[in-house]
Structure formats: C-alpha cells, structure tokens
Chain A
Amino acid sequence: LRPLSHYGPVVACRFYKEFVLASNGPNLKIYRYLEDELVLTKRIFKENKIHGIAISHDLTRFALYGSRSFTVVYGEKELFDEKFDHLQLGVNDWIKSMEFSYDDKVVYLLTAHNVVFTVDLGTLKIIDEKSFKEKSILYSGSIQVLSQEKVLIAAGTISGGVFVWDLFENKLIRNLVGHEGAIFDVKISNDGNYCASCSDDRSVKIWDLSTGSNLATGWGHNSRIWNLCWYDNNKKIFSQSEDCTSRSWIYHEDNDLLYCEAVYETNLGKHIWCGDVNDDFKIAVTGGADGRLMLINLKSLEPSLNPSFQNNCWKKQFSMDVISELTKVEIEKNEIFKNYVDLNNNSIVCITSKGKVFILKDNYSKWEFLYQDLLYDNYSLTNYFKEENLVTFTSSKGTISALKFDDNSGLSKKVTIKINNLKGKITNVLTTKKNDENFLMFMESPNPKDGFMLIEANFELTTEPIITSLGKPETLFVLTCLAYDITNNWLLVGSRHTTFVLYDLDTGKMLNVWKKFCPGDTITSMSIIDSSYGKVILMMTVRDGLYMYLEIRKDPVGNILTKIIQNNRIQRGFLEGGFLNHKKELILYGFKSHTFFLWNETRQFEIFKEICGGAHRIWNFVINDCANDNYKFIYNKSAHLVIRNTGNAIFKDNCLDNGTHGREIRNVTILSNYTRKNGGKLFISGAEDTCVRLSEILPNGEVNNFWSLRRHVSGLQKTKFIKSEKDEKVFYCITTAAREEFFLWEIIDHPILGPLINCYATLEPSSAEPDLRIMDFDTLPIYNSKQELQGYLILNVYSDSSIKIFEFNLNKRRFELLIEDRYTTCCLWDTRFILKNGKLFVMVGATDGYISIWDITFEISDIRKENIQCLQKLLIRQQIHQSGIKTHTLIQHPYDYNILDLVTGGDDNALVNTRLVFSEISNNITLEIKSFKENAASSTITSSTLIPSYKNGKYAKIIVTSVDQRLRVWRIDYHLDSTSNDGELVCEDCAYTTVADTGCSDVCLIEDKQNINSKCIALIGGAGLSCWEITS
C-alpha cells in the first residue's frame, strides 16, 4: 500500500512570505498563493495531524505540532526539501500551542494541562517546565511572546473561563470569566493589552488585560467558534466557526461595540477550523473540514485604502439630486432611474421615468445629460449590447430608439424604428446577438391578435431593420428570456411557468412548445452551450434555484426530442442566470435575501456578493472580463444609483485547494470499466453533507470534482455504479439515503462539456413521511431476447428489517414491486443477489450478525403471479458475527464453480471467510466457516473490496477498512486439492490512514501512461478522501 494523495480537513494555515503553509492531515502543503501554485506536499508526522504552525521572528525556523507530536524545521532549505526526514519529537500530552522565544533561541510549548515546556533549539531538550496551579484540561491555549522578559500564556478551560498567566513570573494575571461553556480559542493581542476569546456560547469577547474587564462581546456566528486572530494593529479580529463562515470584527472604542464588518462564506459543509491574516496586504486564508483552502481579500470593503493591489475595484453611489446638480438638469420629484446599462467605452447610460437619458462617462467620473424624449415618459424598456456600445429604448407603443456610442462615449448615431399595426402595448422586449453584424429584438404584447415581433437590425444601424411576426404558442406565455443558436438558426424563447418555445428562423415556424417543463416558475435565463447541426445543448436556469442542461434534437422526420442531461439545484435563494466561464466552469448568479451573489457552481464557492437589499429592485449584472473575475453590479438602493465594480481578482484563483465533501464521506464508487481521455476514472461519492459528487481520479491520485448534486436531503448511505451494457457511453449509478431516498443517475461524458449527471429515476418512498433508511441495495440487469438491456432487478434492504425487490424498466423509468418481506425486526446492513446454476438467491447481513439466504428463482420467474410475493425458501440462516455485519465480499473459487467464498467484516472487529457450496442439482447451499480472524482490526470493520488485479489466480485479495484508521490487505489462498488452508485469510499489509471515521472504499485498475502497466488504485473515504496505490 502506497499513499498517493489525501484530501481532508485543514486545521492549520499560516502566511509566510509569498507562501501559505497549510496542514492536510499529517502532511504539510506549501502554496505560492498569488500564483495559485502548490509548491510541495510532504509528510511531517507518521500519524498525527498537524494542528499548528509557528514561525520564528527572524523567519528562519518553523515549528509544526499536532496531538502529542512536534518537530522543528531549521531554515527554508529543510522546509522546501521534499525528501527531508523531519525529527519525530513528542511530549506526553496534547500540544495546544507553540511559539518561538523573542530571541528565537528556544521554543515554548503549551500542553492541554496548562504546562509550558521550554525546549532548547540547539539540544532539543526540555530546559524548563512551568505550570500555573490549575491543571484541569484545556480546550484551547496560546502563547504571546512580548519580549525576551515577558511571555503571556492564555489558557481556555472547559468551565472555568480563561486564565492568563505570566510565564517568567509564574503568576496569574487574570481569570477572565463571562463566557458560557468551553473556551475554544483565546489570543492575546501582540501589544499585550487585550485578549480575545470565543466559546461554545457562539460569542467573541474582548478583554482589557490591564483591568480584566470584558470590553465588548460580538454576536453573529450561528454555531461554535473555533479560531480567532488579531489584525490591523489589534483593532480587528478575524474569526472562524462551525457555521462555516469567517467573520471580521472591529472594536469601536467609543461605544464598546464589537461590530461584525463582514461575513465570508468560503467553505462547505460544517466547520472552518483555521484562518490567518496577512496584515500587510490585508488578505486572509481559511481552511475547513472540506479540505478547502480559500483566500479572502479583506480589503474589498474599503478598496480605496490600497488601490494598487486590486486594480480597478470600486464602488460609487449617486443620488438623483447629485446628478441633477452636476448636469444642471432638473429632476422631478418622483423621477427615478428606469434602467441603466454598462458599455464597453467605460460609461453607463441611464434612462429616467421621465424619459431623460444621461450618460456617466470618462471612466465613470462625469455625468452628462443627453436628451429627453417624452415618448418614454413613465414607460420604457431598455436593452443593450455592451461590446457594440449599442442601447435601445422601447416605448409601450412600439417605438424603438437605438443609440450607438463611440469609443469616447459620444453618441454617434440615433435611429428610430417603429412597429406598426400593434393592437396591444409592448410589455417586454428581449435582445440577442445574431452574428457579428446583426442583432435580434423580440417583442411581446399581451394582445392575442399581435404575434411576437421579431426585429433584425445591424449593430451599425446602417440598414433598414427587418420586422417579422412569429406565431404565439397556445398557452399562458410571459416572456422572460431568449437564446439564439447560430448553427441551426433557431430561436428559443423562455417564459414564466417553466414554459418555452423553439422557432426555426429559416421558416419562421414554431418547432415546439414545452409547457410546464419542470417544477418551478420563471425560466430566468437560457443560453446555448453547445450546438451542432440539428442539435443544441441549452442551459436553463429557473428562479427557484433549479438549473439544467437540455439536449434539444431534431430527428430526420422533424420531430423535436428533448433530454435533460444535467440537472441540479442551488441552495442559495433565487437564481437569475448563469454562464460558462473561460475554463468551462459553471457560474451562477442570483439573490439570497438581501444580497446579490455570484457563485462558481463547478467549484462551489462564492466569487463575490453585494448587499443590495434584495431582488425587488432594478439591477444589472455585467461581465467585464470573466477570465479575471471582473464584474459589475449596478442597482438602485434608497434613491441612489449604486455601481459596484469588482476589478480584476487579486489572486489568480482564490481557491488554493478544492478539497472534498464538507462532512464525512459515507460511500465511494468508481466507474471502473470506462477510462477518460486523460486516463482518469470517474467516481461518485456520497456524504453526510447530503451531497453526491461526481469527480475523477487521475493515475497520480489527483481528484477533480465536476458536480455537487443536491437532490438528497438526508445523509448518504450507499452509492454504487450499476452494470450497464446498453450503451458504452451512458452509465448508471444509484444512491440511497435515509428517508427512503433512492435515486438512479444517468451519467455521460460529453466531449465538450465534460461529465454530466442527471437524476434519471426516483423510487417513491412507501409513505408520505418516510423515516426508513435504505441501508444497501444490489442490482441485476434484465435483458430481452435480443440481449438488449431492458432494466434492472433492484434489491433494497431497509433499517426496519424489510427487504424489497423491484423491477425497474429503463425506458418507462418505472419501478414495480415484485417481492416484499421482512427479516426480523433488526436493521439490515448488507445485501446481495447471487446467481448460480440458473438460480437466483438473495443474501442479507443484519445487525444481529446473521447471514441469511433465500432462493427466489420461482418468485422472480416469468410465470410469477400478479400480486406481490414473499420470500419463501429460506436456505441459510447462520450467525457469523457477534454483532452487525457491516460489509461483505463475494469471491468465486478459482477451481470450483460451485463455491463462493463470502468474506464478512463486522462491528465485532472480526473478518470471517464463510464458504458457500451450491449444489448443482438441488437448490441446497451448504455453509462452512473457513477462516475466522477474531481481531482483524481493533475497531469496527466498515468496508471490504475485492482487488481486481488478483481476481483469477491461486489467491484473491481484498482491501479492508476499519474505524481504527487502518487499511489492511487480506489474501485468501486457494488450492486445487482441498487442503486445510484453502480459503484461509492472511493479512498481507497494514497501513495507517489519516482519514478518520474510515468508512468506505473502492478499487479500480487505472492505466498509467508513463508506466504502460496498469496500476491498482484504492479510494478510501471517511472524514476526508485518500487515494492509495496497491502494489503487488
């Protein structure tokens, strides 16, 4: 077993020069943060995690510590030397904190029992030991080195508040009481005047050390707070919490308030464990349980402080009065901006409710009044093309003013277009680019006698526009968005009620109408993300948070076929739109209560947000330059026009490490029989955070995530790819969870868009308020006489001891219950179909340690009766483990077709090989325990997987995981003659994994291009994900 990679909780991070040092289990990772470059990963401790990093004052030495281990690194050379073997040092207690002395000659080490050891950096011996009276256990503690003579220790207890004591005088300075519950972090400011603490009670408190009084208390975090750091000359505090936010707090001395300035949602799931601030640049880094390392620009609130660092980041606000004053144009009492658009010449054009048109030009510095047109009094619809510097205003009567601006923001052309013979009023106009020369306008009047108006004009406004009428669908239609496909000359028009229409602009004909296509209300955006002749892939967002990729195809006879190939939802409020960025990552935007957000859906982080007051206002989102994450958001807020320009991102990427699930991974499954172009394998993981993730694993152990699916609402139980021979490009996977959630997913690997996943079918729960957990399942493909895949037999076992077998029809996407029965009253853990000699058996393993096998050949046969069957022929019921059977692996005996070895692992630490011998004539099965390893692990065995490379041979091998954080490879020997040790279990290898709560595994063969030979890779999941190579 050889470790390849590890993704898991980041519990320590520090800035150091142009680097970020971060822990990842026992590994240290060093990043060059501005360039988004991982410089190196190296193992520091054999087993313990790195919980803290200390750097000497002269920046030449580093102390790394965690649990009872620590090491000292002398100089950058050692630090950056990947091969350097660091000393494994330790004390007999948990190390809470380490700091270098003022002269960097010794290092202080604070233990969880409030003892400080002074370790000489030359001899690495303890030269002094100090403690202050109270030795009850600490949840937190820190050391503040103020001078050569003064070192303060802050100790956070479970129930006694904070003790601050002087190391050299060995005396108590303060006992700070006021928090309720355990203190999870405590830090003394580096001037020694203040102390900050946080606790179980979700508050941050700051204390005056000269008086011991509590100066202020900050409330805001929704959960426990784990980490604090002082910055900005001890004026501000940066905090990290279980609620997965970081906050920045400022202390207002005049009114004794600890005010929360900003909330940063950087990590996923639960817990941000650590954070650090670079005070010079006002940037921060945070690490969480999701293994993600994120950079934050703390200055984004006050960009004026350091304009050089983030170029072009600004926020401007103008009231109507100010604009009136600047332009000397009178503004009426209730006059407001109806709309504003951002042009490429660095100007913004606005129209008021009185038809006045203004321009903000000269790099958004100068207001100018252009003209007033009373046609647009009280009603105007605005559209624009940023790149072409073109703006159109449309009146309710169908008069369009098209304005073309030059590069200096001068109005270079103004053309009026009139729509004649309108019966109703124009209620909406949408525009889209047709090609480099022309654009399309699409107009709606609610009068049924008016068709939709389509206007084609050129950007230069030099030719006469062409106006045509398009038929309206016979359904309630309220225009909301447009998409044009140049390849097919198709126009897609979206509406409320998730209704949309496809027009062929060659013929002007309506090709299809989709009425109430999916749940939800308004389709907020549509865009074509891929197209070829007769086919487009449309991305669609629905306001409620749903988004999908839709394949729309015209078959040779002209039928329009639709297929959802990707669908998911976001949990962040209302979705207004989305696009693919330059890296083909999906970016979504919308509103969440009072804020506008821009969210990278592919990589699951927020790009920027603006507290604007909410969606009920006029707003405009502008992409300035998406490769540099440069955007603009313009909105009305309390009679002001607010322009927020993000400027270029200061970091190449603010996510240094993507990490994995935000909570414990419960199951992983690798799509082993398909290899991606880059040599990677797709895999699916399901976790306690209720997310299902589709990712790939590369031969070097690197993991890339594609999608995080939020269909489950409870923690995942099982995920498995199921056999599909229908089409070698389409794969199926099933995921199950509590609340009887059972989803069947369809996965394709699209040549341009990459892997896509869609929930293909859902098994309805048996009651309206399901509380059962589907513990395990198995499937068996069903073929018709032509050997085509028709569907699957699906076997589910539940937490209430029930066993159900369904037939799933792939085309109808329907499940039919065939067999329903119950084992006893105890929870079932494990199940399996066994097909032998033309007979079908069902095996289950339960919490009582029993294995049971039924013959269901008759019940499942074609002549089966109409009604739902029971399990009738119980062949085996045998106790194998003392308590729950958690996992099993079935192994075909290489020399005897009628023998299957069943290796089971249990809660009782045992691994057992039970031999099942199937009779060829009768349906009898005999059972014999071949090998019983009572102490196969020191804790619950949670998973076992057959290692494929050894499938056929004189032996089989399996990999077994257990909660004691060990991976073991077991070999089962086979012999031609039934000698006594045929089927014996032998432990071949055992390795420690840093993934705690080790709970699942899967194995696959992967082709290593450099190595020609394929290698065998294991993925291990739990509180993190690790990848191992199983060498032979």
Chain B
Amino acid sequence: MGKSSKDKRDLYYRKAKEEGWRARSAFKLLQLNEQFQLFKGVRRVVDLCAAPGSWSQVLSREIYQKAKLEDTKLESYIEPKLVAVDLQPMSPIEGVTTIQADITHPRTMNKILSVFGGEKADFVCSDGAPDVTGLHDLDEYIQAQLILSALQLTCCILKEGGTFVAKIFRGRDIDLMYSQLGFLFEKVVCAKPRSSRGTSLESFIVCIGYKPRLGWKPTLELDKSTEEFFQNSGIGRAQLNKNDLSFPLEERIIAPFIACGDLSSYDSDATY
C-alpha cells in the first residue's frame, strides 16, 4: 500500500542496526510506548505477527530483562510470559516463546491459549501485514481479517483493563473498525509513530482498557470462522440475517489521532 514498499535505507534502518534490533519496526513500538506507557505493570504479552522479532526484542528487554532484576521471592512477583507468533520462523529471543503458525487459523489460537495455561495476558499486540495484492479493497479486507483474528485472541486472553495494539492501514473502512473496537475498549486511539513513514498509510490502533462485553462469552471453536466468532458479540458488526439480505449499514466513528515520538527524533520520510 502506498509507497511503503520502497524500503529506502533510512536513518531508522541504520539506527536499528547499530542498536541491535532485528528490524526498524522496533522504534515504532518504542515510540508508542513513550506515548502510552504500554509496558507499565505488564508481565504477560502476546506478540502476533512477530517475525523477524524486533517487537519481541523490545518486549524481552522492557519486560523480561527488567523482571530478572526483581526479587522473585516477593509475593508480588509475577513470572513474565512472552509469546510470539508468526507464519515465518523466528530465531530465539531470551524469555520469548515462539510459535510458527497462521494467526487466522483457529488452531493457532488454541496453541497460544495453552501456552498461557488458562491465565490472562496484560497486553496483546500485532504488527501483522499481509502480502498486498494491489487490489486495494481486497488488501484492506485481508488486513481487517488479520486484526479481527488478533482481536479474537484478545477477547479470549486479555485481562479486563488490558491493552491491545495493532497495525492498521487507514483506508476507506477504517472508521468501521474504530467503531467496533469502541465497544470493547475504554479508549481507542489511532497513533502514528514518527518512525513510520508519512508516505505510508500505516498507523496503529491503541486500544486501552479492555472491557469484556456483558452477556457475551467469547469461545474459540475450531470449526468457526472469525466472522462467526463475533456473531453475537454486539460490537456493531453486520449480522447475517438469512431471511433478509438487504445490505446492512454499519456505524462509523473517527478515532482521535495522535502522532507519537519526539518531534526532534528522526523523520522516516527524509532521505539523507
């Protein structure tokens, strides 16, 4: 989408090399954290679409490494748990459990849940992006499906009050997504880190304060699609009415936009 594909060897790329990040994406998570204090009190995280693993590196450094310094005997100590999932294989990162799987597949969700062993996560993030075809509406649909899959997992595993962050491309139907997320979180913000190019449509939804839907029990079933999973969630997704196929209109909302990262920090659009 847009010009994002042109990976100019920019400053962030060089800086990532210097600092030992596997990808320049690390700075996006770091800048989002700067703005939203995402990692505060966070111990258990699911990092979806994580390869090559720079977000996992950040999480490992900020959560796992910091926890190592703490006194494990304290009653308040909670064992950190980081799980990273991607279609692609990932070389190991200290403190991170990696799973190679398709996040749109219900089986993958089960795998993740079993790693957590029934416990809840504090934070779910997804930096997933499908291979774009060039058919803008189809690409947007697939991207929305990735987010929906991540959201499906989130509904099953995120603790009340937890945070969900996912990559989005602000296309024609992004306001539908904002509206639906609004049913599940206290606050939904569209954030653009300065390390993400202004020329690309990429930004991130930061959803703070998970509030499970009253009267809806999210349950993963192997033979259910994500669409069916959300069928009775009441988040404003169009319901299938077999007796009336007239096209349903869905609610749209514009989420507030926040640019994050220091203004004096590098500009990813610039070429030097």
Binding site for B on A (CB under 8 A): 9, 11, 46-49, 51, 66-69, 87-94, 112-115, 117, 119, 124-126, 129, 131, 133, 135-137, 158-159, 182, 184, 200, 224, 226, 242, 270-271, 273, 289, 688, 715, 771-773, 799-801, 825-827, 829, 847-849, 882-884, 907-910, 934-935, 937-940, 963-966, 992, 996-997, 1023
B106 with A996: CB separation less than 8 A = no
Can you name the residue of chain B whose Cβ is closest to the Cβ of A798? B271
Chain B residues whose C-beta falls within 8 Å of the C-beta of A937 in the assembled complex: 254
**Given A115-B225, A965-B171, A826-B201 contact (CB < 8 Å):** no
What are 12 A-B interface contacts by the 8 Å CB criterion? A66-B137, A91-B240, A94-B141, A126-B245, A135-B223, A159-B102, A289-B134, A771-B271, A847-B270, A907-B192, A908-B257, A939-B201
Closest A-B pairs by Cβ, 5 of them: A996-B136, A826-B267, A827-B269, A113-B225, A939-B170
B247 sits at the interface (CB 8 A): yes
Chain B residues near A772 (CB-CB < 8 A):
271
B137 pairs with A996, CB closer than 8 A: yes
Contact at B258–A799, with CB atoms within 8 Å? no
Docked CA distance A882–B190 (Å): 12
CB closest chain-B residue, reference A992: B172
Bound form: Cα–Cα A938–B168 in Å: 13
A938 touches B170 (CB 8 A): yes
A270 CA / B267 CA spacing, docked (Å)? 30
B104 contacts chain A at the CB level, 8 A cutoff = yes
Q: Are B246 and A799 within 8 A (Cβ)?
A: no
Docked pose: A512 CA to B258 CA in angstroms: 67
Instruction: Known contacts A115-B225, A182-B131; decide if A882 and B141 are in contact (CB<8 Å).
Output: no
A90 close to B247 (CB less than 8 A)? yes
Q: Which residue of B lies closest to A124 (CB)?
A: B245
Is there an interface contact between B131 and A908, defined as CB atoms closer than 8 Å?
Answer: no
Distance (Å) between the CB of A384 and the closest chain B CB? Answer: 49
Instruction: Please give me the residue from chain A that is nearest to B239 by CB atom.
Output: A92
List 4 extra interface pairs beyond A135-B228, A226-B133, CB under 8 A.
A92-B238, A271-B134, A827-B270, A938-B174
Please judge, given known A-B contacts A67-B141, A89-B245, whether A799 and B271 are in contact too, CB under 8 Å. yes
The complex places the Cα of A271 from the Cα of B132 at a distance, in Å, of 12
A68 to B138, CA, bound (A): 11
**Closest residue on chain B to residue A89 by CB atoms:** B245
- Are the C-beta atoms of A939 and B137 separated by less than 8 Å? no
A826 touching B269, Cβ below 8 Å: yes
Residues of B within 8 A of A47 (CB): 172
Within 8 Å by CB of A800, from B106, B248, B271, lies B271
**B50-106, CB < 8 A from A:** 87, 102, 104-106
Dominant SS at the B interface?
A: loop
**A113-B225, A135-B225, A963-B201 in contact; A801/B270 too (CB < 8 A)?**
yes
- Chain A residues with Cβ under 8 A from B138's Cβ? 51, 94
Please indicate the chain A residues that have their CB under 8 angstroms from the CB of B225 in the complex. 93, 113-115, 135, 137
Option from B8, B242, B248 in Cβ contact (under 8 Å) with A771: B8
- Take A126-B242, A847-B198 as given contacts and tell me if A158 and B270 are in contact as well, using a CB distance cutoff of 8 Å: no
Nearest opposing residue in chain B for A883, CB measure? B259
B139 to chain A, nearest CB (A): 9
B171 touches A907 (CB 8 A): no
* Alpha-carbon separation in the docked complex, A793 to B216 (Å): 66
Q: Which of B157-185 contact A (CB under 8 A)?
A: 170-172, 174-175, 178
**B residues touching A (Cβ–Cβ < 8 Å)?**
1-3, 8, 87, 102, 104-106, 131, 133-138, 141-142, 145, 170-172, 174-175, 178, 192, 194, 198, 201, 223-228, 237-240, 242-248, 252, 254, 256-259, 263, 266-267, 269-272
The one of A91, A113, A688, A939 in contact with B171, judged by C-beta atoms closer than 8 angstroms, is A939
Q: A-B pairs with CB below 8 Å: how many?
A: 176
The CA of A11 and the CA of B136, in the complex, are separated in Å by 11
Least CB distance, B86 to chain A, in whole angstroms = 12
Closest-by-CB residue of A relative to B270 is A827
- CB of A799 within 8 A of CB of B270, answer yes
Given contacts A94-B141, A133-B223, A826-B270, contact A938 B254 (CB under 8 A): yes
Report B-chain residues with C-beta under 8 Å of the C-beta of A273.
135
Shortest CB distance B271–A (Å):
5
Residues of A within 8 A of B141 (CB): 67, 94, 112
B238 to chain A, nearest CB (A): 5
Q: B8: which A residues are within 8 A, CB to CB?
A: 771
| Contact of A847 with B269 in the complex, beta carbons under 8 Å | yes
Residue numbers in A under 8 Å from B226 (CB-CB): 113
Query: Across the interface, which residues of A come within 8 angstroms of B223, CB to CB?
Result: 131, 133, 135
From A49, A112, A137, A964, give the contact of B137 (CB < 8 A): A49
Chain B residues with CB under 8 A of A126: 240, 242-243, 245
Question: Residues of A contacting B136 with CB < 8 Å?
Answer: 996-997, 1023
Q: B243: which A residues are within 8 A, CB to CB?
A: 125-126
Do A938 and B252 touch (CB < 8 A)? yes
Residues of B within 8 A of A46 (CB): 247
Q: How far is the CB of B48 from chain A (nearest CB, A)?
A: 15
A69 to B249, CA, bound (A): 12
Given A882-B257, A883-B198: A940 in contact with B227 (beta carbons within 8 A) = no
A883–B131 touching, CB < 8 Å: no
Residue of A nearest to B102 (CB): A159
**Which residues does chain B contribute within 8 Å of A773, judged by CB atoms?**
271
Residues of the A chain whose Cβ atoms lie less than 8 Å from the Cβ of B239: 92
Whether the pair A908, B175 counts as a contact (CB closer than 8 A) is no
Complex alpha-carbon distance, A51 and B135, angstroms: 10
Of all chain A residues, the one with the shortest Cβ separation from B87 is: A159
B147 to chain A, nearest CB (A): 12
Is the Cβ of A909 less than 8 Å from the Cβ of B257?
yes
Q: Are B201 and A940 in contact (CB under 8 A)?
A: yes
Q: How far is the CA of A89 from the CA of B270 in the complex (A)?
A: 46
A136 and B105 in contact (CB under 8 A), knowing A934-B256, A939-B174? yes
Are the C-beta atoms of A909 and B271 separated by less than 8 Å? no
Contact, CB under 8 Å: B134 / A715: no
Is there contact, CB below 8 Å, between A997 and B1?
Answer: yes
Q: What residue of chain A has the Cβ atom nearest to residue B3's Cβ?
A: A715
Chain B, Cβ-Cβ closest to A936: B254
Q: Complex Cα distance A780/B272, Å?
A: 28
Residue of B nearest to A908 (CB): B257
Residue in B172, B227, B242 whose beta carbon sits within 8 Å of that of A113 in the complex: B227
Residues on the B chain within 8 Å of A125, using CB:
242-245
Bound CA–CA A17/B201 (angstroms): 43
Check B131 against A200 for contact (C-beta < 8 Å): yes
Q: CB-CB < 8 A to B257: which residues of A?
A: 882, 908-910, 934
Query: Does B254 contact A909, Cβ atoms closer than 8 Å?
Result: yes
Q: Which residue of B240, B244, B258, B259 contacts A92 across the interface (Cβ within 8 Å)?
A: B240
How far is B265's CA from A826's CA once the two chains are assembled, in angstroms? Answer: 9
Is B102 touching A158 in the complex (CB atoms < 8 A)? Answer: yes
- Across the interface, do B245 and A965 meet the contact criterion of CB distance under 8 Å? no
Q: Are B266 and A825 in contact (CB under 8 A)?
A: yes
Residue of A nearest to B271 (CB): A799
Report B-chain residues with C-beta under 8 Å of the C-beta of A849. Answer: 259
CA distance A848 to B240 in the complex (A): 44
Q: Is B142 touching A135 in the complex (CB atoms < 8 A)?
A: no
CB distance from A737 to the nearest CB of B (A): 12
Query: Which A residues touch B244, using CB under 8 A?
Result: 125
Docked complex Cα distance between A159 and B223 (Å): 17
> Of the candidates A88, A93, A182, A883, which one forms a contact with B194 in the assembled complex, judged by CB atoms under 8 Å apart?
A883
**Chain B residue contacts of A883, Cβ below 8 A:** 192, 194, 198, 259
Complex partner residue of A129 from B145, B242, B245, B248, CB under 8 angstroms: B242
A133 to B240 Cα, complex, angstroms: 20
B102 to A242, Cβ gap below 8 A? Answer: no
Docked CA distance A2–B133 (Å)? 31
In the bound assembly, the distance between CA atoms of A117 and B241 in angstroms comes to 12
How many angstroms between the C-alpha atoms of A551 and B269 in the bound complex?
Answer: 44
| Bound-complex Cα distance A67 to B145 (A) | 13
B246 engages A137 (CB within 8 Å): no
A residues within 8 A CB of B192? 882-883, 907-908
| Complex interface: chain B residues within 8 A of A910 (CB) | 257
Q: In the complex, which residues of chain A have a beta carbon less than 8 angstroms from the beta carbon of B270?
A: 799-801, 825-827, 847
Docked Cα-Cα span, A498 to B259, in Å, equals: 56
